[in-house]
Amino acid sequence: MFLRNCWYVAAWSHEVGQEPLGRTLLNEPVVLYRTEDGDPVALEDRCCHRGLPLSLGTVEGRRLRCAYHGLLFDRDGACAEVPGQSRMPPGSAVRSYPLVERAGWVWIWMGEEAPDESLLPDWWWMDHPDWKTVPGNNGKPLHSRCSHRLIVDNLLDLSHLTFVHTDTIGNDEITRFPCRTEREARLVRMERLMPAVEPPPFYKAAGGFAGKVDRWQIVEAILPCYVDVDVGCTEVGRGALDGDRVQGTAFHVPNCPTPETGRTTHHFYAHTRLFRTDSAEMDEVFRTDFLRVFHEDLEIMEAQQRVFDSRPDAPLVDINVDAPALTFKRMHEDALEAETGARTAA
């Protein structure tokens, strides 16, 4: 069901501390904590003795102690102590998972192959001093009662802005312009360029535009489910539609919808902008107004999930704006088939 030989966001960095954090990822219960040195650790959230979640335990230095009978586990998952006996029982260990911290997130590798950091997205602007990043949902994952694939589909089809986000980032101009789809090895790109259009309410207020603007929507979806939404507006004729997109109301929305189960998702996202970076008022707009935008999408996607659950075999039709999502779906299915085949052969 899920690609596993890849990275997923497990938590915001600030979520992981000396108190164990239990979280289900890819249908597997995981516990995260930090050692006394500040290093993040991820273990299977299950004591190998009597199955109590280790997230109910306590951190002791670099180790985690179970709250039931006191078994103590090293960061590599090996049991280091059983109170009342000196010998470790055979099989006294739990699985540990490789982690890496980048862009304010803790990323986890849940596959069988050796972790490959080159597969992480290069979202350099999230840490760049010229850009301002505001965490989405107040620095917590947005729990979504829908498949992570529906979130990817939603982000690859921004024509829905016209109908779902009418008083913020949507207007009738979007549907007048077709999107272009490009495919690379692990990436699908959706591009929609809109010259000399009326700006929607958010852009008009944020950029102070008096008239029409050149507007762009460029979305890149990378396996397994990383989606960067590059959007903005400039004054007409400033070169933004020719590639100079670091001007006007330029900002990115990096998204990592990590599957909790096949029907629920931990949606990690942020807003990184290059305009009015010292404005507390604009920070608040992204914290509150755009949270409402995401909740508008969430209402749609959770309703879709309920219909798919009740009528899984009901036929669906495709329209032109589905091309990027359908391309990514095929790419994901090909990658999943290849990974499953390799696992079966091994």
% of the chain exceeding 90 in pLDDT: 97
- H or E element in which residue 212 lies: none
| CB contact at 8 A, 65 and 71 | yes
DSSP result, 76-139 = TSBEEEBTTBSSPPTT-B--EE-EEEETTEEEEE-SSSPP-GGGS---GGGS-TTSEEEEGGGG
Residue 130 has pLDDT above 90, yes or no: yes
Q: Does domain 125-338 have CATH number 3.90.380.10?
A: yes
Task: Pick 7-117's CATH classification: 3.40.50.720, 3.30.70.270, 3.90.1580.10, 2.102.10.10.
Answer: 2.102.10.10
Q: So what's the pLDDT on residue 203?
A: 95
Average pLDDT over residues 102-112: 97
Residue 193 has pLDDT above 80, yes or no: yes
First CA to last CA across the chain, in angstroms? 18
pLDDT tens digits, one per residue of 270-323: 999 999 999 999 999 999 999 999 999 999 999 999 999 999 999 999 999 999
What residue spans define the domains of the chain? 7-117, 125-338
The pLDDT assigned to 68 comes to: 97
The rounded distance, in Å, linking the Cα atoms of 329 and 312 is 17
DSSP labels, 249-301:
S-EEEEEEEEESSSS-EEEEEEEEESSSTT-HHHHHIIIIIHHHHHHHHHHHH
pTM for this model (two decimals): 0.96
The whole-number average pLDDT for the span 98-118 is 97
pLDDT digits (tens, 9 = 90+) for 21-80: 999 999 999 999 999 999 999 999 999 999 999 999 999 999 999 999 999 999 999 999
Q: Are strands 28-34 and 21-25 parallel, antiparallel or unpaired?
A: antiparallel
Instruction: Catalogue the E-assigned strands of 26-82.
Output: 28-34, 40-44, 58-60, 63-65, 72-73, 79-81
